[in-house]
Structures are given as C-alpha cells and as structure tokens.
Amino acid sequence: MRSRFAALFLVLPMLSLPLRGQLAAPHVRISQGELEGEVSTMGPLVFKGIPYAAPPVGDLRWREPKPEPGWSGVRDATKFGTACMQPETPLMGIPRSTMSEDCLSLNVWTPSLTPTVPAPVMVFIHGGSFITGSGSQPQFDGSNLANRGIVVVTINYRLGIFGFLAHPDLSAESSRHTSGNYALLDQMAALRWVRQNISALGGDSRNITVFGESAGASSIGYLLVAPDAKELFDKAILESPSIVFQPSPELSKEYRGLASMESIGVAAAPHIADLRSLKSEEIMERGQQAAEKVFAAGIARARLRPETPLNNTPFVASPWAPFADGVVIPGQPAQLYAENRAMRIPVLVGSNTNEGNLFLRSYHPKDTSSFNAWVEQAYAPCGKQVLALYEPQSPATPDQIHDAADRLLTDSIQLYNAFSIARGTHGFLYRFTHVSPIGEASGMGAFHASELVYVFGHTHQPDEHAPMLQFKPADHRLSDQIMTMWVHFAHIGDPRLMMSSDWTRIGSNGEVPYMDFGDSLTVKDLPDTSLQIFGALWPPSGKAPTCAKR
C-alpha cells in the first residue's frame, strides 16, 4: 500500500465565475442561428435543448445523423429537449410523454459567454445500458462544474433498437455498406457540433474532455478506437465502463459482428420497409421480440451483461449495444487496444468497489453449490479457474455468497474493462470505494453510479431517491476533491495537483497504481495478475479461451 495524503487541495480553480446579478436572458449566435438561454439558479448560464443534428425520423430513421439546417429568429433554449425513445423504468423516472424519436439535442452550462480565457469543455455521455437515460436527468446538472470554470455539455443519443439496429437492407443502402452503431455516430455528431460551436459559448474548442458513466463510459471506450472519432475530443474520463473487452458469444463466434447483428434485425423484420412504417412503440416491441428469439436457447453468458438480473428468467438480455461493424468500429475493440490503435490522448478511467450489487438485487443464492454451478456455467470454459479465485469458503452464509458474487461481477465487468482500457491507453486508474449515505442505508456499498453525485457536486442537494438521507462533511470533502481532479484533468490532462508522483499512468511493467477514493485518498497497487483469468477467458484476439488448455 502506498502512502496516504493528509492535505491534497489548497487551491480551487474558481475561474470565470458569472455575475450573480446578471439576470437578463443571455443571447448567443451559433452556426445554426440565435439562442436565448437563462441564468440558472446556481449562477451559470444555461442553454437547453439545442439540436445538434436533424431529427432522425421518417427517411432519416436508421441513418447517419444529418446536420441540423438551422432556424430563423431567436430559438428558445430554456427547456430541455425530449428524451430518446426507451422503456419506462422506475430507476430512470422518464415518462413516455417526454420521449420522442426527435431527440438529438444537447445542453450547455457555461460560466461566461465572454471569458478572458476560453474555458475547458467537458462533454458528458449518460449511461443506461444503451437502452435508457437522457442528458437532461437532474443528476447531470452541470452548474457546479461550470462554477469551477468549466463549460459543461450533456447530450442525448439514440437508444435501443433505434440506436443499434443493423439490417441487410440498411447495409445495402449505406455508401459504407454497414449499418447499426447509430448511437455512436450521434455521439460523434454532438462532439463535432461542440468543436464547431462551443467557442461562441465561452468554451475552448481546442480543449474538449469527453466523460461518461456506465454505457456512456463504454461508448467512450469504443470512440477511442473509432476512426471517425479522431480529432473530435482531446481527453477522456471513463467511469465504470463495461462490455468493451467482453465478447457476447450468443451473438457471434467473433464476439459482436455485423452479420450477427444483422440477423437480429431480420428477426425484427425481414425487410426494413416493414419497420419504417411502424410507430415508435411498435418498433420497440419488435426489438423485444427479436431479443427473445436471439436468446431463446439460453443466456448464461449474456447474463454477465450488467443490465441483466441473474435469476430473473422472464428478463431478456438486450442485444442493443455497440459492435464491430468493420467501419465505425473496424475490429474487435479488445484487439484494437492490444494493437495500440486507440487514440493517444490523456485518459482517466476507473470503477467502484461494489458495482455488482446493483445488478444482484434479485440474486439470492441459498447455498454454495448453486453459486458454484452458476460460476462454472457463466464463465465456461474457465469456470473452475474463476471459481478457485472467488468461491466462498464452505459452509458460507447467503450474505457471504452474495458478497462473492458482487466481487466477481465487479471484477469481471467494470474493473477488468477499466484496467484494460487504462493499460491500452497508458491512462490513470482509480477505484471509488467510498460508501455514500444511500449505499450505507441500503447495504449496497460503493454501488454502480454512486460516484456521480460526487462528480457533479450534488452532495449538498438531497438524493432524489432517498431525500431523508443527509450527506456528511466527509461526502462534501470527497466531492470537492473529485471535482477538483476532474477539472484539473480537463485543463491539462493530469488529475494530480500537489500529490505524490506515486499515482502514475499504467505502464507495461506489471505495476498498476491507482487512486483509491475512499474516506481518504490513497494510492494503492492492483496486481494485474488478479485479472489475468479474464484475459484468458476473453482473449483480445477473439480466439477461443486459453484457460481450458492449462
């Protein structure tokens, strides 16, 4: 264990703060026309619901995003745009009435339209398993980061079947002979818009950091190896990425590929015209039916997908996620990283220590034998080797078995992906171990997404899911430290301030230093040998697992 640090932050970069007395509605002209925004209650100027691409409806459904043609007069930018089409879920709390296929918009929080020095820009990509979520969710309000001299942008992108449908008819229509991955193309279009327009909003168009959580972080993992994304951003922060380094054997012998994803599209409709004539809700139902066909033979390994409850048999795994189509994503991401084909930019990536708990809420094994059987099946053909590392001692209580499942899912999904991306980009690695009030009250620990309230500085606001729980001074202090690191990284590509050089980028010498965000900040070492079993199970080459040969 490395040394602890008693005093890490003496100065905060409070740059370009807005005048609190500035009450007049701010106006700005961008390439598409004039916008009227508002002064947020917390100080920054905010412009909401700005279209960054033409509505992907009608003939533009399942096509690459097209430029928004613009408007005449002054556009009202005081209301968020509609969320993209998605299932209604209690966790997200996005009602169907606020959804539409016309959803390709973004939101901007800026400390000033006329700063002395243009501000660094941070573009956030939301999570939601690629099937839910929106950039307008309250937890992504960018005011606190903007108050630290950052221009913050949040975006919407197409989700589910609208964002990832591949189909032979669509591939035949495409000049690049591919289809799917429209969500990634949307994200690139938003980043291209930021490059072209953010200077009018006080941002530095030459200093753009993209950051995201869960599916948003996974998206960045794909963008880092996407040829079309080069030159669209300058730094990247990935919070709890998954699936980038994991195959989906049920979809393709070569992980995910265009042919396997096209077969799902054909299962939804033999001809694309049949889908284009349907309403949004009917299309989502077709997508669900197609998933049921794909996973009808069993979804043992698909259950490693974090959105999939382990023992919820009526639940059908979602096939809608990025994949290697040969063009947008030219090959299997794990292999592209192994071949040093990822963008050479500063990267900060990490995960939380109890990621699995959020996905284990329905998993209540009663004995060690049921846990062992699941591990051997889910991680075949390396199940016995994985079990040797994670099997609880027998006899074990249900709580001990649950803890083993949490540790295994956390390590194999988020930690393995975070470590692999850090290694592939020589990035900084962190682990979020602090237990928030809701994590403590629920027994879920440092669960998936629990770091977001600290990143966005919302510890002074009641948690929307648990308003009775109050954050403590330690929570406020940790939020301040994390925000300071994220902002400093956005400035210069290095999260460290007056900190020991022990927290270094991941190299190739076998040492894996990471910053532990706990009750105190501590640099620790993660032996990469602890994750070697997952590299053997999911070789970057896409070939058969090597552990069975041992």
Cα separations in angstroms, 372 against 32, 307, 387: 58, 21, 7
Please tell me which residue in 129, 134, 214, 412 is annotated as part of the active site.
214
Is position 355 annotated as part of the catalytic site?
yes
Is position 214 annotated as part of the catalytic site?
yes
- Please provide residue 286's backbone torsions phi and psi, each rounded to the nearest 5 degrees: -60, -40
Residue 13 binned pLDDT confidence (cut-offs 50, 70, 90): very low
Lowest model confidence (mean pLDDT) among 29-38, 274-283, 393-402: 393-402
What average pLDDT score do residues 311-340 get?
83
Q: Given phi > 0 = left and psi -120 to 50 = alpha, else beta, which region is 188?
A: alpha
Instruction: Report d(CA 267, CA 272) in Å as an integer.
Output: 11
- Please provide residue 123's backbone torsions phi and psi, each rounded to the nearest 5 degrees: -105, 120
- Please check the confidence at residue 305 and state whether its pLDDT lies above 60: no
Residue 245 binned pLDDT confidence (cut-offs 50, 70, 90): confident
Residue 99 binned pLDDT confidence (cut-offs 50, 70, 90): very high
For 313, residues 6+ apart whose C-beta sits below 8 A from its C-beta are: none
Is position 260 annotated as part of the catalytic site?
no
Instruction: Write down the pLDDT at residue 12.
Output: 34
- Please check the confidence at residue 163 and state whether its pLDDT lies above 50: yes
Residue 120 binned pLDDT confidence (cut-offs 50, 70, 90): very high
What average pLDDT score do residues 380-384 get?
88
Please tell me which residue in 248, 355, 434, 451 is annotated as part of the active site.
355
More confident residue, 174 or 17: 174
Domain parsing of the chain, residue ranges: 27-549
Lowest model confidence (mean pLDDT) among 67-81, 410-424, 515-529: 515-529
- 14 CB-contact burial (10 Å; exposed 0-12 / middle 13-18 / buried 19+): exposed
pLDDT in tens, 165-207: 999 999 999 999 999 999 999 999 999 999 999 999 999 999 9
Name the average pLDDT for the chain. 88
Lowest model confidence (mean pLDDT) among 331-340, 460-469, 498-507: 460-469
Lowest model confidence (mean pLDDT) among 41-55, 278-292, 296-310: 296-310
Q: Which of 140-149, 291-300, 387-396 has the highest mean pLDDT?
A: 140-149
For 367, residues 6+ apart whose C-beta sits below 8 A from its C-beta are: 401
Please tell me which residue in 402, 434, 448, 458 is annotated as part of the active site.
448
Fold of 27-549: Rossmann fold (3.40.50)
CB 109 within 8 A of CB 151: yes
Residue 19 binned pLDDT confidence (cut-offs 50, 70, 90): very low
- Please provide residue 37's backbone torsions phi and psi, each rounded to the nearest 5 degrees: -105, -150
- Please check the confidence at residue 522 and state whether its pLDDT lies above 70: yes
- Please check the confidence at residue 14 and state whether its pLDDT lies above 50: no
The DSSP secondary-structure symbol of 208 reads: E
Q: Which tokens belong to 496?
A: 């460290």
Instruction: Write down the pLDDT at residue 358.
Output: 85
- Please check the confidence at residue 298 and state whether its pLDDT lies above 80: no
Instruction: Write down the pLDDT at residue 226.
Output: 98
Instruction: Write down the pLDDT at residue 16.
Output: 40
pLDDT in tens, 405-442: 999 999 999 999 999 999 999 999 999 999 999 999 99
